[in-house]
Amino acid sequence: MDGAMTESTKLPSGQTRINSLEMRGITKRFPGVLASDHVNFDVKSGEVHALLGENGAGKSTLMKILYGLYHPDEGEILLDGKPVTISSPTDSIDLGIGMIHQHFMLVPTLTVAENVALGLPSSRGVLTDLDRVSKRIIELADIYGLKIDPDAYVWQLSVGQQQRVEIIKALYRGAALLILDEPTAVLTPQEVDELFVIMNQMVKDGHALIFISHKLHEVVEISHRVTVLRDGRTIGTRLTSETTKQDLANWMVGREVGFAPNRGQSTLGEVRLSLNEVHCGSDRGTPGLRGVSFDVCSGEILGIAGVSGNGQRELAESITGLRKVTSGRVFLEGQDITNLAPGEITDRMLSYIPEERMRDGMIKDFTIAENMILREHHKQPYSKNGFLNLRGIANHADELIESFRVKTPSRETLAKNLSGGNIQKVVLAREISRNPRVILAAQPTRGLDIGATEYVRQQLIEQRNKGTAVMLVSEDLDEILALSDRIAVVYEGQIMDIVPRENATPEKLGLLMAGVHPEEGAPVVQ
Amino acid sequence: MITELLSTTVLIGILASGIRLATPYLYAAIGETFGQKSGVLNLGVEGQMLLGCFAAFYVALTTGNLWLGLLAAMIVGAAMGLAMAFVTVNLRAQQGISGIGFYLFGLGMSDLLFQRLMGTVETVKGFQRIYIPGLSDIPGIGEIFFNQNILVYGAYLLVPLAWFVLNKTTLGLKIRAVGENPDAADSLGVSVARVRYFTIILGGTLSGIAGASLSIALLNVFQQNMTSGLGFIAVALVYFGAWKPVGVLGGALLFSMVNSLQLWIQVLGIPVPSDIAVMMPYVLTILVLVATVSRVRAPSALTKPFERDD
Ligand SMILES: Nc1ncnc2c1ncn2[C@@H]1O[C@H](COP(=O)(O)OP(=O)(O)OP(=O)(O)O)[C@@H](O)[C@H]1O
Ligand SMILES: [Mg+2]
């Protein structure tokens, strides 16, 4: 590169810094949507610039433009003051821009090293040089404090580890500017802390970072500046040090927002869902659930707290018929539903909001209206005698789009063209609106903006107050504490304890989540 | 009768022709493996083979040069691949249906050309067996493995070569990634379209060679529809082989050995109805597919057209 470069313009990875990057007057139209409307945005070396905005505000779109995945209709991008054209990811990678996508971009059947090497020239010409790639991965991992095994297959990794692979991928390509699109949405609080350590290190070394998140405390903690988008327009940019969480919330939504939901009144009724000594396997052959028993009653919210991967997924799947229960029984309103087909369980009015909504909760190539009747399509008013009733389907969709404020040009839009948070809303709307007897909600507010989070939480509480039994699986302790009447903590496929809300503190739950009984003070050994 | 089957000469004969008969399957199925690994199901293999078959035969017949015949088959196969790539990659057509279209085209076109240009069945002197001093003389082994023509050897060399390309080269890495998660490959600057063009054209070329191996190396004639379903079996072998060249080899050998056995049963006049004998390899394929297919997962993006949502 330029021989006159001094050491200080280099990053530890050997790459040249990007001192400043500016997006000016960016406009992007999709059919029926103005996703970016003359947006201005800039980021400098050595800072984290947070991008805030409601679901569908245009954050991902703007970032995909910067990364070369979308082409802007208008506007220009200046790198260190000079205009650049970015027409594909190849261009952006060459310029030193990296991106961590809202939905990870990894090939699960390949190893970490193969994922990193993909698309790069090899030092051995046409042959791969995975051994050298692995060595470099380990070097980079050391510099930035990322623990990763280059030979592991990606499908074996936890979400947090997969994200590290994404970061390594970008650093390996010499990213001086890194875009992180909702990197924390799928992470446990501990993994978020680890990510922030890495991000702080990168900033100190002179990287420029763009950070998107709906969690305001994270934005306040990690960023130097904040820009708010609303309906594709820049509302403004501020120094983080000069704002608070509450300011940001009001600014973003355009009205006062409260953080604590109003719990109202509810009367506890009969047992609706009951598990008795349930055992099941997991995808990796280890025991998934090992003797889980609890009841959920009409009019209560039972929170399931725990670090992800301790059996939450297996729990939800064995109740909904998606996973075989190897021993024990599951009862819905007194009737044995153990190992019934998922459709039969659905028809007994159990609603399920799966954690991986993109994969398990919807059909990406169906319209919103179709997705909204997936569970009830065989019933009136959506169909009669085997014929779909298009009017009924349309009315239903329009009602839900309005009440859940799904941001979409029309009910006929394909689900895959919605923003991440709006995809979530479609699933939530479908499940909550059918007036179920039991709702099983896994991470229901993941990826939602604060307004939508508030709305969904309120909906779950209203369901409870109407007498529905609600089981809420969440890794967000604040959410568990705000909503639950009782809290069950899972650890390694077992229920550690069930604590009434009044006796629950974050500290106590934290210990239980780590497998420690607070009274005994020692880890439980099975 | 059965004792006749078990005599050494007959056994050697069965094995030698089994080795030989695997040739067209290997070329076609290895080619198909590349396509499927990159996410493209090509059901047009049979049509590509038929045209390759005819092209090789006709050029060899008129020029007297077998190598020119082989080259013609490769060009015709590649051209069919190019068309298939355009239809599935650029026009994003449904792969299964367009594959069937290409099959029917190849079937009709090869027949038409045959009627127009030749009219009657003729024969050529195809690629001859190659005598390898030493090896060919080993009793039994020599007859089975080292008394074959060049296209047979080529087919077996293709297996490790394909494995090597898929697993040890940057191109192979791209092919595997594009077949599993094209979005991820695209986000790293890998051109999904270019990779798929490459694999489909390569597959077409190899199908062309597969056709040529029939008409100018194994049977040395051309007849209408002379592949009679062989290309479809090749597609099945890819599933059977779990998208691995060595698995494809296993499948091709199993299939051609049973085929060779049934041919010998007929030659020896063992009283098994010939229809039943001819059915054997196909029934076997179905049974083995049923038994194996559920255990391995196809490339995730198989049959899915790629499109950046911009
Ligand atoms: N490929 C596409 N085709 C059509 N419309 C699109 C496409 N991608 C995004 N949109 C629309 O553009 C708007 C902005 O979407 P974008 O994904 O940028 O939102 P976002 O701010 O990232 O939201 P979230 O917080 O939910 O992720 C949305 O209305 C969305 O429906
Ligand atoms: Mg987004």
Write the ipTM: 0.89
> Is residue B257 in a domain?
no
- Per-residue pLDDT averaged across A263-284, rounded? 89
pLDDT band at A7 (very low <50, low <70, confident <90, very high): very low
Q: If interface means Cβ-Cβ distance under 8 Å, which residues of chain A face chain B?
A: 67, 69-71, 88-90, 93, 99, 101, 105-110, 114-115, 117-122, 126-128, 169, 416-417
Only one residue has tokens 């609080």, namely: A189
Q: Does B171 touch chain A (CB under 8 A)?
A: yes
Q: Give the CA count within 13 Å in the CB-facing half-sphere of B213.
A: 28
Q: Global pTM?
A: 0.84
Are A154 and A189 contained in the same domain? no
Q: Return the ligand number nearest the Cα of A213.
A: 1
> Is residue B242 in a domain?
no
Q: What is the pLDDT of residues A166-211, one digit of tens each?
A: 999 998 998 999 999 999 887 878 888 989 999 999 999 999 999 9
- Top mean pLDDT of A286-295, A305-314, A324-333, A500-509 is at A324-333
> Is residue A363 in a domain?
no
Q: What mean pLDDT is reported for chain A? A: 89
Tokens read off for A248: 């940001």
Are A448 and A498 contained in the same domain? yes
Chain A residues in contact with B177 by the CB 8 A cut-off are: 107, 110, 114, 118-119
C-beta atoms of B181 and A69 within 8 A: no
What is the domain range of residue A408?
368-434
> Is residue A263 in a domain?
no
Q: Return the ligand number nearest the Cα of A418.
A: 1
Least confident of A303-312, A366-375, B2-11: B2-11
Say if residue A524's pLDDT is above 60.
no
Pair type for strands A74-79 and A48-53: unpaired
Q: Looking at the 3D structure of chain B, how many domains does it have?
A: 1
Which of B165, B166, B187 to mutate to probe the A interface, most A CBs <10 Å? B187
Quick check: CB of B308 below 6 Å from ligand 1? no
> Is residue B151 in a domain?
yes
Tokens read off for A221: 């903690």
Helix (H) / strand (E) containing A199: helix A189-204
Are A213 and A136 contained in the same domain? no
> Is residue B138 in a domain?
yes
Ligand 1 atom nearest residue A449's Cα:
25
Q: What is the pLDDT of residues A443-490, one digit of tens each?
A: 999 888 888 888 889 889 999 999 999 999 998 888 999 999 999 999
Are A312 and A451 contained in the same domain? yes
> Is residue A275 in a domain?
yes
> Is residue B282 in a domain?
no
Q: Return the ligand number nearest the Cα of A54.
A: 1
User: What is the rounded distance in angstroms from the CA atom of residue B214 to the CA atom of residue B227?
Assistant: 8
Are A423 and A455 contained in the same domain? no
In whole angstroms, how far apart are CA B126 and each of B53, B63, B143? Answer: 12, 13, 19
Are A396 and A448 contained in the same domain? no
Residues 250-309 of B with CB under 8 A from A: 300, 308-309
> Is residue B202 in a domain?
yes
Q: What is the pLDDT of residues A333-379, one digit of tens each?
A: 999 999 999 999 999 999 999 988 888 889 988 999 999 999 888 88
**Given A434, A454, A488, which residue is the final one in a domain?**
A434
C-beta atoms of B170 and A128 within 8 A: yes
pLDDT band at A285 (very low <50, low <70, confident <90, very high): low
Only one residue has tokens 């329009």, namely: A398
Q: How far is the CA of A213 from the centre of ligand 1 (A)?
A: 15
Are A515 and A479 contained in the same domain? yes
Are A74 and A189 contained in the same domain? yes
Quick check: CB of A421 below 6 Å from ligand 1? yes
C-beta atoms of B310 and A126 within 8 A: no
C-beta atoms of A128 and B177 within 8 A: no
Are A443 and A525 contained in the same domain? yes
> Is residue A7 in a domain?
no
Are A194 and A246 contained in the same domain? yes
User: What is the rounded distance in angstroms from the CA atom of residue B101 to the CA atom of residue B107?
Assistant: 10
- Per-residue pLDDT averaged across A416-438, rounded? 89
Asked if B179 and B301 count as a contact pair (C-beta separation under 8 A), the reply is yes
- Contacts of residue A87, Cβ cutoff 8 Å, sequence gap at least 6: A68, A71
pLDDT band at A264 (very low <50, low <70, confident <90, very high): confident
C-beta atoms of B185 and A69 within 8 A: no
What is the domain range of residue B113?
24-231
Are A233 and A286 contained in the same domain? no
Can you give the three-state secondary structure of A451-517, one letter per residue? HHHHHHHHHHHHHHHCCCEEEEECCCHHHHHHHCCEEEEEECCEEEEEEEHHHCCHHHHHHHHCCEC
CATH number at residue A275: 3.40.50.300
- Per-residue pLDDT averaged across B101-119, rounded? 95
> Is residue A362 in a domain?
no
> Is residue B131 in a domain?
yes
Ligand 1 pocket test target in B186, B308, B309 with most atoms within 8 Å of CB: B309
C-beta atoms of B308 and A69 within 8 A: yes
> Is residue A322 in a domain?
yes
Rounded (5°) CA angle B29-B35-B37 = 100
Asked if B241 and B247 count as a contact pair (C-beta separation under 8 A), the reply is yes
Asked if A23 and A66 count as a contact pair (C-beta separation under 8 A), the reply is yes
Are A248 and A395 contained in the same domain? no
> Is residue B183 in a domain?
yes
Q: Does B193 touch chain A (CB under 8 A)?
A: no
**Given A174, A206, A226, which residue is the final one in a domain?**
A174
Chain A residues in contact with B171 by the CB 8 A cut-off are: 126
Q: Looking at the 3D structure of chain A, how many domains does it have?
A: 4
